[in-house]
Amino acid sequence: FPVERIRNFSIIAHIDHGKSTLADRLLEITGAITKTQKNKQVLDKLQVERERGITVKAQTASLFYEYENQTYLLNLIDTPGHVDFSYEVSRSISACQGVLLIVDANQGIQAQTVANFYLAFEAQLTIIPVINKIDLKNADPERVENQIEKVFDIPKEECIRISAKLGTNVDQVLQEVVKRLPPPTFNREDPFKALVFDSNFDQYRGVIANVALFGGCLSKGDRIVSAHLGKSYEVNELGLLKPEELPMERLYAGQVGYVIAGMKEVKEAQIGDTLYHQKHPVEPLPGFKPAKAMVFAGMYPMDQSDYSTLRSAVEKLTLNDSSVTVQRDSSLALGAGWRLGFLGLLHMEVFNQRLEQEYNASVIVTAPTVPYKAILSSPRLIKEHGREEITIVNPAQFPDRSLVKEYLEPMVMGTIISPDDYIGKIMSVCLNRRGIQKNMVYIDDHRVMMKYLFPLNEIVVDFYDHLKSMSSGYASFDYEDAGYQAADVIRMDILLNGKPVEELTTIVHRDRAYSAGKAMCERLQDAIPRQMFEIAVQAAIGSKVIARETIKAFRKNVLAKCYGGDITRKMKLLKKQAEGKKKMRYIGTVQVPKDAFINVLKRK
Ligand code: GDP
Ligand code: MG
């Protein structure tokens, strides 16, 4: 296929602005060309329905599109939508020459729209703004076009107004992709070079890497090397994604497709890695860095007898997600488990949910923590670690102030977009989270965009929920990495009946220790049910107790209410109580519900 008639593009959007819906429409429209005219609608519909499972995960698809009597190959490259995965987004984008930037005609520009725009802008891609959902009653495309001109400096005439749902003007989107985007400039005569922009694990066939060819060509049977690990593989199968796999004999520069080459784990085909021919090594594509974990949490089986089942579930899940880091860990109270690192809180929740749903595992997840750093002053510790600067991902291992020159905490630059009615409230919440305002601009007559520098620790657990509920759902939020800053932080322990519970240890800012300690004790008081004895809940800094709550003793006799008869009701109550118990974990003699470990950090 001639390179001049290839276009590689991505769809980027704030969540729910219609990325998947538009992708489905594009697949429908272009699928129609390869079918006979008769019955095409019905066939396409069924096929799209059948492929839904695939399109949810990977919308990477090679589409054939007829324009002015020429056939074009349009490669639609999927990007994950959430802030946790912005590193992956930037990698997928680097395989493209342009993007469709979708904005909802009712909601207008939101925080992720801005973040995604900059990723594409910095990669110097052609950006086609698309205003979606013009069929909505409250759609105001005019206003959104003005926002786009103001915030992104893109002339409003360049916007395409569509309804992905009804299909209105969707064909025009494809025409503009052909007209406005440049073809890739890669050369078939160069040595083979490909970017891995996604990878999946298949139980039977191993790793399926999604690749974009930046040079040369690749054939079945070739021996290739992945630059990051330097391991070599033989190509067993390769082809196009339509989006289902279509095996081919060969892929060429400018094309996008999949490669199966006997890789056993996705770690061998990491996003952003470069593949090349063993015989013709090339300079790897720039900017490869392994995904960086920003949130760490302990994970333990509810019951130690489930340890090996859980271990195999964790292994299987990480086989498919190379961005999760895994370290063995153990604790006095919870036994053997792991300390896992995630890209963000959503990533952690998805992982946890998959463990429970797909592997039926019952796990305790401890309070998440961000990676702190410490510059050590103690010669003993420096010798022990072999260096001055260490990263701490487990609060229980936080070195004491007396052994440290300085602590550093990770920072992020947050973008908040909101109607201006909420400015006051938002500013006070941000201040409360130790946010520092860097910028504030109006993007239209009553919406503002604010930039805040935050300690990651302050926003990682529940800031977004808080922002949403405070603004009746109107404010949106996104953030990017902003390095490390010196911080006056200390370790706070929680004691249940005088026994420290390592899994509840957190790192807090010194100025907030008292209020944080008090809040944690109150939340634990709510989270732990009354038991047959009194429970003292204490927060302590070193040996000094800074807060205390008491959970009064209580004897819960569930059967007292239904004397005599009704045996089914009795059974029901007993069953309910048993289920309640199942979710409890003993810490010493105290029963703690498993979600208490994470809920203690959620502010009201
Ligand atoms: P994504 O999160 O960006 O992939 O968004 P989706 O494609 O999943 O769409 C989010 C919601 O918006 C879904 O309920 C869609 O049905 C709806 N939607 C998408 N496009 C349109 C449109 O053009 N008009 C209307 N009224 N709804 C739309
Ligand atoms: Mg979607």
More confident residue, 421 or 243: 421
H or E stretch covering 349: helix 345-358
Atom of ligand 1 nearest to the CA of 162: 23
Q: Give the pLDDT of residue 27.
A: 84
Of 79-93, 267-281, 459-473, which range is least confident? 79-93
Atom of ligand 1 nearest to the CA of 15: 2
More confident residue, 595 or 172: 172
Tokens standing for 240?
A: 């196009």
What is the CA angle 482-485-489, rounded to 5? Answer: 130
Residue 260 Cα to ligand 2 midpoint, Å, equals: 26
Which residue lies with its CA nearest to atom 10 of ligand 1?
Answer: 16
H or E stretch covering 489: strand 489-496
Q: Which residues, other chains included, contact 156 with Cβ-Cβ below 8 Å and sequence gap of 6+?
A: 145, 146, 148, 149
Q: Give the pLDDT of residue 115.
A: 87
Which residue lies with its CA nearest to atom 24 of ligand 1?
Answer: 133
Q: Give the pLDDT of residue 80.
A: 60
DSSP annotation string for 6-75: EEEEEEEESTTSSHHHHHHHHHHHHHHHHS-STTHHHHHHHHHHHHHHHHHH---EEEEEEETTEEEEEE
Residue 524 Cα to ligand 1 midpoint, Å, equals: 40
Residue 159 Cα to ligand 2 midpoint, Å, equals: 21
Which residue lies with its CA nearest to atom 22 of ligand 1?
Answer: 133
Using a 6 Å cutoff on CB, does residue 18 contact ligand 1? yes
Phi, psi of 482 (to 5 degrees): -135, 30
Q: Which ligand is nearest to the CA of 112?
A: 1
Residue 93, SS3? helix
Residue 19 Cα to ligand 2 midpoint, Å, equals: 5
Q: Are 553 and 532 in contact (CB under 8 A)?
A: yes
Measured CA to CA, the distance from residue 538 to residue 536 in angstroms comes to: 6
Residue 43 Cα to ligand 2 midpoint, Å, equals: 23
Q: Are 67 and 249 in contact (CB under 8 A)?
A: no
Give the total residue count for the chain: 604
Q: Give the pLDDT of residue 486.
A: 96
Which residue lies with its CA nearest to atom 18 of ligand 1?
Answer: 18
163-170 contacts at long range (C-beta below 8 A, 24 or more positions apart): 163/132, 163/133, 163/134, 163/135, 164/18, 164/21, 164/22, 164/24, 164/25, 164/132, 164/133, 165/18, 165/21, 165/133, 165/135, 166/135, 167/25, 167/29, 168/134, 168/135, 170/22, 170/25, 170/26, 170/29
Q: Which residues, other chains included, contact 377 with Cβ-Cβ below 8 Å and sequence gap of 6+?
A: 403, 404, 405
Residue 68 Cα to ligand 2 midpoint, Å, equals: 31
Of 155-169, 483-497, 515-529, which range is least confident? 515-529
Q: Give the pLDDT of residue 455.
A: 95
Bridge partner residues of 541 (DSSP): 544
pTM for the whole structure: 0.80
Residue 18 Cα to ligand 2 midpoint, Å, equals: 7
Residue 165 Cα to ligand 1 midpoint, Å, equals: 7
Atom of ligand 1 nearest to the CA of 166: 23
Q: Which ligand is nearest to the CA of 21?
A: 1
What are the residue ranges of helices labelled H in 200-332? 307-319
Q: What DSSP character marks residue 587?
A: E
Using a 6 Å cutoff on CB, does residue 133 contact ligand 1? yes
- Number of separate helices (H) and strands (E) present in the chain: 15, 33
Using a 6 Å cutoff on CB, does residue 21 contact ligand 1? yes
Per-residue confidence band for 556, with pLDDT thresholds at 50, 70 and 90: low
Q: Give the pLDDT of residue 162.
A: 98
Tokens standing for 585?
A: 């974990």
Q: Give the pLDDT of residue 420.
A: 95
Q: Are 455 and 409 in contact (CB under 8 A)?
A: yes
Measured CA to CA, the distance from residue 126 to residue 120 in angstroms comes to: 8
Using a 6 Å cutoff on CB, does residue 163 contact ligand 1? yes
- Strands 295-301 and 237-241, sheet pairing: unpaired
More confident residue, 436 or 62: 436
Using a 6 Å cutoff on CB, does residue 141 contact ligand 1? no
Check whether the bond before 243 is cis (ω within 30° of 0): yes
Q: Give the pLDDT of residue 604.
A: 54
Q: What is the mean pLDDT of residues 490-507?
A: 90
Residue 504 Cα to ligand 2 midpoint, Å, equals: 36
Q: Are 103 and 113 in contact (CB under 8 A)?
A: yes
Q: Give the pLDDT of residue 39.
A: 32
Phi, psi of 455 (to 5 degrees): -70, 130
Calculated CA dihedral for residues 122, 123, 126, 131, nearest 10 degrees: -60
Neighbour-count burial for 548-573, b at 16+ CB within 10 Å, e otherwise: ebebeeeeeeeeeeeeeeeeeebeee
Atom of ligand 1 nearest to the CA of 21: 7
Percent of the chain clearing pLDDT 90 (strictly above): 47
Residue 101 Cα to ligand 1 midpoint, Å, equals: 14
Residue 22 Cα to ligand 1 midpoint, Å, equals: 8
Q: Which of 11, 15, 16, 144 gets mutated to test ligand 1 (max ligand atoms within 8 A of its CB)?
A: 16
Phi, psi of 156 (to 5 degrees): -65, -20
Using a 6 Å cutoff on CB, does residue 17 contact ligand 1? yes
Using a 6 Å cutoff on CB, does residue 132 contact ligand 1? yes
Q: Which ligand is nearest to the CA of 104?
A: 1
Check whether the bond before 247 is cis (ω within 30° of 0): no
Residue 455 Cα to ligand 2 midpoint, Å, equals: 30
Q: Which of 12, 21, 140 gets mutated to test ligand 1 (max ligand atoms within 8 A of its CB)?
A: 21
Tokens standing for 237?
A: 């199968």
Measured CA to CA, the distance from residue 10 to residue 77 in angstroms comes to: 5
Residue 135 Cα to ligand 2 midpoint, Å, equals: 19
Q: What is the mean pLDDT of residues 145-150?
A: 96
Percent of the chain clearing pLDDT 70 (strictly above): 87
Q: Which of 102, 110, 136, 165 gets mutated to test ligand 1 (max ligand atoms within 8 A of its CB)?
A: 165
Of 110-114, 282-286, 311-315, 325-329, which range is least confident? 282-286
Q: What is the mean pLDDT of the chain?
A: 85
C-alpha distances (whole Å) from 190 to each of 22, 168, 217, 258, 475 are 35, 42, 8, 20, 48
Atom of ligand 1 nearest to the CA of 164: 23
More confident residue, 571 or 333: 333
What is the CA angle 314-319-321, rounded to 5? Answer: 90
Residue 117, SS3? helix
Residue 222 Cα to ligand 2 midpoint, Å, equals: 36
Q: pLDDT digit string (tens) for 324-354?
A: 889 898 877 778 899 999 888 777 877 887 7
Residue 514, SS3? helix
Atom of ligand 1 nearest to the CA of 102: 3
Using a 6 Å cutoff on CB, does residue 164 contact ligand 1? yes
Q: Which ligand is nearest to the CA of 15?
A: 1
Which residue lies with its CA nearest to atom 9 of ligand 1?
Answer: 18
Phi/psi-derived region of residue 287, left when phi > 0, alpha when psi is between -120 and 50, beta in every other case: left
Measured CA to CA, the distance from residue 20 to residue 54 in angstroms comes to: 12
- Name which of 12, 159, 8 is nearest 478 in CA terms: 12
Residue 205, SS3? coil
Q: Are 170 and 114 in contact (CB under 8 A)?
A: no
Q: Give the pLDDT of residue 238.
A: 96
Q: How large is the C-alpha radius of gyration of the chain?
A: 27
Using a 6 Å cutoff on CB, does residue 165 contact ligand 1? yes
Q: Which ligand is nearest to the CA of 130?
A: 1
Q: What is the mean pLDDT of residues 408-423?
A: 95
Q: pLDDT digit string (tens) for 105-124?
A: 999 999 989 988 988 998 89
Tokens standing for 118?
A: 């900059």
